[in-house]
Amino acid sequence: MNTIFALAQVVIKELYRRKDFYVLFILTVLITLLMASASIFHDDKIVRYLKDICLLLIWISALVMAVGTAARQIPAERENRTIFPLLAKPVSRAQVIAGKFLGCWLASGMALVVFYLFLGLVCASREHEWHVFIYLQALWLQWVFLAVIIALVLFGSVIFAAPSSNATISIVVVISIWFLGSHLNTVALQQAEPMRSIIYTIYFLIPHLEWYDIRDLVVHNRPLVSGTICGLATLYGAAYTGVFLFATWLCFRRKPLN
């Protein structure tokens, strides 16, 4: 466990010593503030469009950061040959994977907290009330979302040689699942038989990432998702994360390194 945390710490250190996070955060802040400064019919209580834009930016930034970081981890270890001194220590490859995952996940969690604090500030300045619980829920679900994504990307990174192609493929896969995944059943029902079963099978196999995106509820002040539902969604996400991490380990376990 110590080893895993030590590895995670290195990932986090790397992330905050790089410029990515700062660039994305400052961009988000700038764009949101710019939108906020526009006077729309002299009404300064309009807030939902701001929430909407800010959340969109948060989602894009978090996705880019998580995918970029996770895709880079293992290939960079191999390319820079840092994996050799590391694995020469009593560290198993499973621990390397777990540590890399944990590092990416914790780092993105920390980034999310910063982003959501900013969102809270912007909204509170207009609404004069704090919808703390819905923000916390949105943050938590997005974090679970990122766990699945990071595990998926790590899996990709032991399959595809180049990190950039892995990142691109991962982003495409994630975005298509995110936006189309929930509609595959509708599509399947419109197809003839062989296709129908195939699409339905895919529908049941893919992780339903769209669940974790409750921006709609946050933007429109809809009620909270119930705790049970939230917990079940977390379990579902954890299961997929586990599956992807296990697959990563299977592929990486016996891979010759050079």
Partner 1 sequence: MNTILDIKDLRVEYRNRAIGQTTKLAVNGLNLSVQPGEVFGFLGPNGAGKTTTMNVLLGFVNATSGSASLFGVDVREPIARQRIGYLPELTYYYKFLTAEELLRFYAKVFGIPRAETEKRIDELIKLVELEPARKRPIKSYSKGMQQRVGLAQALINNPDLLILDEPTSGLDPIGRMKVREIIQRLKNDGKTVFFSSHELGEVETVCDRVAILHQGELKVEGRVDDLMQKYKANLEQIFLRIIGYQPVAVS
Partner 2 sequence: MPAPCYILALLLTLCFTLATSLQLRMHSISTGTPSDDMLKAVLGDGRRMFANHYFVKADVYFHSGYYPSIFEQGAKAPANARHMVEEHHDEGGDHDEHEHEKAMDFLGQPKDWIDRFGRHFYSSTHSHLDKPGEAREILPWLRLSADLDPQRIETYTVAAYWLRGHLGKVDEAEQFLREGLRANPTSYEILFELGMLYSENHHDSSRARNLWELALRRWQDQDAVNRPSVLQRWEESKDVGDIQPDINIYLKIITQLALLEEGQGDLRQALHYRELEVKVSPLPELVQVEIDKLKQKLASPPISAPTK
Kindly tell me which of 41 and 88 has the beta carbon lying closer to partner 2.
41
* Segment near partner 2 (CB under 8 A); pick from 102-110, 127-135, 219-227, 242-250: 219-227
> Does residue 204 belong to the site contacting partner 2 (CB under 8 A)?
yes
- Interaction of residue 251 with partner 1, rule CB under 8 A: no
Non-local CB neighbours of 15 within 8 Å, separated by 6+ positions: 21, 65, 69, 103, 107
Of 34 and 121, the one with the shorter C-beta distance to partner 2 is 34
- Give the pair of three-digit tokens for residue 6: 């030590």
The piece of 3-11, 32-40, 103-111, 115-123 that touches partner 2 (CB under 8 A) is: 32-40
Report 83-142 residues binding partner 2 (CB under 8 A).
Answer: 141
Q: Is 199 in the site for partner 2 (CB under 8 A)?
A: no
Beta carbons of 224 and 133 less than 8 angstroms apart: yes
CB-CB contact of 35 with 50 (8 Å): yes
Compute the half-sphere exposure of residue 245: CA atoms within 13 Å on the CB side of its CA.
21
Contacts 24+ apart (CB under 8 A), 246-250: 247/155, 248/97, 248/151, 248/154, 248/155, 248/158, 249/93, 249/94, 249/97
Q: Can you tell me the distance from the alpha carbon of 43 to that of 40, in angstroms, rounded to the nearest whole number? A: 6
Rg (CA), the chain: 20
**Residue 88, contacted partner among partner 2, partner 1, none, CB below 5-8 A by kind:** partner 1
Instruction: Give which of partner 1, partner 2, none residue 80 binds (C-beta under 5 to 8 Å, depending on kind).
Output: partner 1
Out of 167, 174, 177, 245, name the contact with partner 2 by CB under 8 A: 167
Q: Is 106 in the site for partner 1 (CB under 8 A)?
A: no
Using rule CB under 8 A, residue 247 touches partner 1: no
Contacts with partner 2, 57-76, as mask; x by CB under 8 A: x--xx--x--xx--xx----
Smaller CB separation from partner 2, 67 or 139:
67
Give residue 5's identity as a one-letter amino acid code: F
Q: How far, in Å, CA of 225 to CA of 70, rounded?
A: 29
Contact between 164 and partner 2 (CB under 8 A)?
yes
Q: Is 50 exposed, middle or buried (0-12, 13-18, 19+ CB in 10 A)?
A: buried
Query: Shortest distance, CB of residue 63 to partner 1, whole angstroms?
Result: 23
Q: The tokens 């993105």 sit on which residue?
A: 108
Nearest partner of 236 among 218, 214, 209, judged by Cα: 209
37 binds partner 1 (CB under 8 A): no
Which one of 34, 92, 130, 232 is in contact with partner 1 (CB under 8 A)? 92
Q: Which residues bind partner 1 (CB under 8 A)?
A: 2-3, 5-7, 9-10, 13-14, 17-18, 80-82, 84-92, 254, 256-258
